[in-house]
Amino acid sequence: MNQESVKRFDGAALCTGKRIRSLLLMLPDSIKAQAQEIRLRCGRPVTVCGLFGVVFLHESGRSSFICSDSAVKASITDIEECFSIVCGHSVHTHQSGICAGYVTVNGGHRVGLSGTAVCDRGVVTGVRDVSSVNIRISREFKGIADAVFENVRVARGGLIIAGPPSSGKTTVLRDLARLLGGEEGGYARTVIIDEREEIAACVNGVPGNDVGVTCDVLSGYPKSEAVLIALRSMSPENIIIDEIGSMEEVKAVEQGLNSGVRFILSIHASSKEDFLSRPQAIRLIQTGAFSGVVFLGGAEAPSTVREYITAGELIDKTFRSSFADGGIGAGRVLCGSTG
């Protein structure tokens, strides 16, 4: 039994009010150790989700995998109490995070919030009538990135980690940061750009996860701005970014590459074909600054390396695919501008 995982579940359960918390803490350790989320929805059953599926709570302390009339339902009071605890009893202090839909709490747990948006000229300025809470349990699996780190250590270029949702991309990046910023990585100067506050999970400036001795964290910054800030002020050797999505973010990475910084990135892609269908992914590979792409398994085997493909192989595959479609764009794939 992974007692650290059980301990982290118990820590996440503290975000809920007294009634729900007592039932969560009564769950078997076997469920706690594999739980990924605790979900409260107003007027509906409280659920614990994980590799085992979905578990429902009962007032007797019993748990089941089947929803019945006796399943414990979250009341408005339960939701309000949880919301207050998550915000440290100071909603104003966490207003920016609430508007973005989440708050990070002690232990690195990320709490998603759903409710009614208060908008001003199309911009969310607040949230009222919070109706559901999703407590995503932060996990650290030290050593999970050992195989990927070996590739980073021997390769000259950067690395892209690709996988579908819930494949463990963030978990791998977190452990890579720990390794790079520790003795194994020669205490390399590493900056984590943690826009969604999931990698380091800083609370009051202190990382909730072990991200290495020599890692600096830019928490909550938009990725494209954070890259430039890191380059100007932190003189990094490595920059780690989770879930590159927009072309603006890719352009910021390109500026960093011109400064000689190595980037370790993650991107949503469920397969090689999916990866190569994304213009952002193609543009990153075109830079020549990445040694290759690690493809992770799915949610059923999170953080597991399914395949490693070199950048050269991917470019060759793209060229052959373009040629098969009539050759249009093949030259651009090999010699495409990064401007």
pLDDT for 70 equals 93
Q: DSSP readout, 283-314?
A: HHHHTS-EEEEEEE--TTSTT-EEEEEEHHHH
Sheet containing 53-57: give its strands across: 63-64, 53-57, 47-50, 35-41, 123-136, 110-120, 102-104
Cα(first)–Cα(last) distance of the chain, in Å? 52
pLDDT tens digits, one per residue of 230-253: 999 999 999 999 999 899 999 999
**Could you give the CA distance from residue 239 to residue 217 in angstroms, rounded to a whole number?**
10
CATH architecture, domain defined by 3-136: 2-Layer Sandwich (3.30)
**Could you give the CA distance from residue 62 to residue 57 in angstroms, rounded to a whole number?**
6
pLDDT tens digits, one per residue of 170-226: 999 999 999 999 999 999 999 999 988 889 988 888 898 899 999 999 998 999 999
Q: For the domain bounded by 146-335, which CATH number is listed?
A: 3.40.50.300
pLDDT for 11 equals 94
Chain centroid offset of residue 80 CA:
26
pLDDT for 258 equals 86
pTM of the model: 0.79
Backbone angles phi, psi at 37, to 5 degrees: -145, 150
User: 187: part of which helix (H) or strand (E)?
Assistant: none
Query: How is residue 333 written in tokens?
Result: 């794939």
Asked whether the beta carbons of 306 and 297 are under 8 A apart, the reply is yes
**Could you give the CA distance from residue 113 to residue 115 in angstroms, rounded to a whole number?**
7
Digitized pLDDT (tens) for each residue of the chain, 339 residues in all = 588 899 999 999 999 999 999 999 999 999 999 999 999 999 999 999 998 999 999 998 899 999 999 999 999 999 999 999 999 888 888 888 888 888 988 888 889 999 999 998 888 888 999 999 999 998 888 899 998 998 888 887 899 999 998 888 999 999 999 999 999 999 999 999 998 888 998 888 889 889 999 999 999 899 999 999 999 999 999 999 999 989 999 999 998 898 889 999 999 998 889 999 999 999 999 999 999 999 998 777 778 888 999 988 888 876 665 545 554 443 333 333 333
pLDDT for 38 equals 98
Closest alpha carbon to 282 in 228, 335, 224, 227: 335
Give the list of residues 6+ apart from residue 303 with CB closer than 8 angstroms, or none.
141, 144, 145, 167, 168, 171, 172, 296
Residue 271's SS3 state is coil
Asked whether the beta carbons of 260 and 128 are under 8 A apart, the reply is no
Residue ranges covered by each domain of the chain: 3-136, 146-335
